[in-house]
Amino acid sequence: MKWDASYDVVVVGSGAAGLTAGLTAKLHGMKSLVIEKTERYGGASALYGGALWIPNNHVIKSEGVPDTHKLARLYLDSTIGDRVPEALKEAYIKRGPEMLRYFNNHTRHMRFQYAKGYSDYYPEKPGGFPQGRSIEPLIFDLKKMGALVDTMRRSSLSTKGFTMNSSEFHKVNMIRRTTKGKTTALKLGLRLVKSKLTGSLPVALGEALIARLRMSLAEANGELWISTAFQDFIVENNRVTGIVVVRDGQEMRIEAKRGVVLSSGGFSHNQAYREKYLPAPTNSKWTSTPEGQTGDIIEPSVKIGATLDLMDKVWGAPSVIDPQGQPFFLVADRGVPNMIVVDGVGKRYLNEAAPYHEFVDNMYIHHQETNQAIPSWIVIDATAKSRYIFTGLFPGQAFPKSWFDNGVVKSVQTIEELAEQMNVPVENLVETVERFNTFARNGRDEDFLRGDSAYDKYYGDPTLKNPNLAELTNAPFYALALYPGDIGTKGGLVVDEHARVLKADGTAIGGLYASGNCSASIMGETYPGPGATLGPGMTLSYIATTHMAKEGNKEQLPLLKV
């Protein structure tokens, strides 16, 4: 075979999982290449919160979190059940903390902090932690990256010029309600002033994670090619030995001596795949993922024997669609007190503050039963608008005029008028609001138990009897259509505890590994905690490349430290 380029490890995809694979390979002395088909690296990982849900890790234990391997396994068993093989769950619980220690010991940039208080999504289940297990990257100065930042995918999360991590957002959301909210806002203001005076460019969340990975990869001399699209595998003697790519319009054959790692994301932007695999209705316009997530590796992988699972599942993200047609993912917004979500006939049907994936699952269940949940409506009053951050707007900040002009926001003085604007039965919406207001006065949601879970309370108002319940009484009232968006699909290639892609008979395809959203999620059909996408994606990449280092040609490889 004539090769245009040769590497030990070739990685398809440049999100957190892909960069982890490239970095780990280099740190183990292997020559690695990461390819990205779009013009910017970082994938969906750069766009969101950047949290990692990895139980029993050294970061949370240093902060006194009493986690153990046994508790982590108990929690996974109580949430995931037997939907995922035992060996895969065990590998994740063991190797995830190992990966974090490894990066801490072998890089300068892979540093994290405990996202204290950011609850597991099901903290009341056996093994669940109300105080949370998640970690997040430390704030990072992009000025340190030099030209590397020019092709990094940037987040559009709306923070109005402020750089904040998830813990700080949680506090500043209560800027008009708590002392912590006010002091955190002051801290953010001082950070902004400092960055202006010093010329620094601080970033947090997913951008900080990608920046830290990219800097580490660069310092380890790992290569990354953008505008390079995967086309097909090269298979010799029943083993994947390389891939065919198109780079700048030219086809190339790239050798992968140790193996190929697929970390290319899901198929959120492939409408044909969505209609084939996902529940209806489904629309690629509802996804918050980057445009490159079209499932390019699925057919070539199946062609060489790979098996698929969880193809009907997404990482659900309830979203409103802005005037430009871009989805805005509602997370904290659904925890605010003076708010309800109703279906197309003006009735509540779920716990609005539930974990976002569960929320979207319930939208589909209700829609299948009634044909009235997609879209739903999120309704708030003037009190909510004046007290809390909502759709990225700070308390009291008006919705943009374009949101009204394009009908994204309905705003009127009475609930009756709002029902008419929403085209739902007036009597139903009035009755729904009155019933909810009664729950709010009593401090208990008798219908859907909103505010009972520690997760619900995290984004609620701690000054109230029930942090998630307050009456909707003050005009104007607002309503926005709500859709079952996603932050990625979670189905894909089935892998084993070594991250090797499996055939239908359970045997591995030689030389082929997968991680991230192009693989069938370790989390099965659920979502145990914040960062349960990135944590497993990075861990599987680490597992894959360390397996290559051990199983390759058995030679002793030098461990680098960068």
Contacts with 396 (C-beta within 8 Å, 6 or more apart), sequence order: 176, 385, 386
Which helix (H) or strand (E) element contains residue 91? helix 86-106
Would you state the pLDDT for residue 15?
98
Question: Residue 93 in contact with residue 134, Cβ under 8 Å?
Answer: no
Residue with tokens 């992968």: 256
pLDDT tens for the chain, 562 residues long, are 899 999 999 999 999 999 999 999 999 999 999 999 999 999 999 999 999 999 999 999 999 999 999 999 999 999 999 999 999 999 999 999 999 999 999 999 999 999 999 999 999 999 999 999 999 999 999 999 999 999 999 997 655 568 998 989 889 999 999 999 999 999 999 999 999 999 999 999 999 999 999 999 999 999 999 999 999 999 999 999 999 999 999 999 999 999 999 999 999 999 999 999 999 999 999 999 999 999 999 999 999 999 999 999 999 999 999 999 999 999 999 999 999 999 999 999 999 999 999 999 999 999 999 999 999 999 999 999 999 999 999 999 999 999 999 999 999 999 999 999 999 999 999 999 999 999 999 999 999 999 999 999 999 999 999 999 999 999 999 999 999 999 999 999 999 999 999 999 999 999 999 999 999 999 999 999 999 999 999 999 999 999 999 986 545 556 777 7
Q: What is the DSSP letter of 557?
A: P
Residue 554's pLDDT is 47
Q: Is the dihedral of CA 208, 211, 214, 220 positive or negative?
A: negative
User: What are the backbone dihedrals phi and psi of residue 412, each rounded to the nearest 5 degrees, phi first?
Assistant: -145, 180
Domain boundaries, the chain: 5-19+219-315+487-551, 45-206, 316-486
Would the CATH topology of 5-19+219-315+487-551 be identical to that of 45-206? yes
The radius of gyration of the chain from alpha carbons, rounded to an integer in Å, stands at: 24
Q: The domain 316-486: what is its CATH number? A: 3.90.700.10
CATH superfamily of 5-19+219-315+487-551: FAD/NAD(P)-binding domain (3.50.50.60)
> How do strand 477-489 and strand 314-321 relate by DSSP bridges?
antiparallel
| Cα 540 to Cα 548: distance, rounded to the nearest angstrom | 12
**What one-character-per-residue DSSP string does 23-62 give?**
HHHHHTT--EEEE-SSSSB-TGGGTS---B--TT-HHHHH
Residue 73's nearest CA partner among 64, 63, 81, 65 is 81
Contacts of 544 (CB under 8 A, 6+ apart): 21, 259, 261, 498, 499, 500, 513, 514, 515
3: nearest Cα among 256, 257, 259, 253: 253
> What is the pLDDT, as a whole number, of residue 557?
59
DSSP string, 406-461: TTSEEEESSHHHHHHHHTS-HHHHHHHHHHHHHHHHHT--TTT-TT-SHHHHHTS-
Peptide bond preceding 476: is omega within 30 degrees of 0, i.e. cis?
Answer: yes
> How many CB atoms neighbour CB 49 within 10 A?
26
The predicted pLDDT at position 160 comes to: 58
Residue 24, token pair as written in the block: 């780990």
Alpha-carbon distance of 222 to 217, in angstroms, equals: 5
Nearest to 490 by CA among 233, 210, 278, 207: 278
pTM: 0.96
CATH H superfamily, domain 45-206: FAD/NAD(P)-binding domain (3.50.50.60)
Compute the CA torsion angle 510, 515, 518, 524 (nearest 10 deg).
Answer: 110
The one-letter amino acid at 74: L
Q: What are the start-end ranges of the E strands in 187-294? A: 202-203, 223-225, 228-236, 239-247, 250-262
Residue 308 burial (C-beta neighbours within 10 Å; 0-12, 13-18, 19+): middle
Beta strand pairing status for 500-502 and 376-380? unpaired
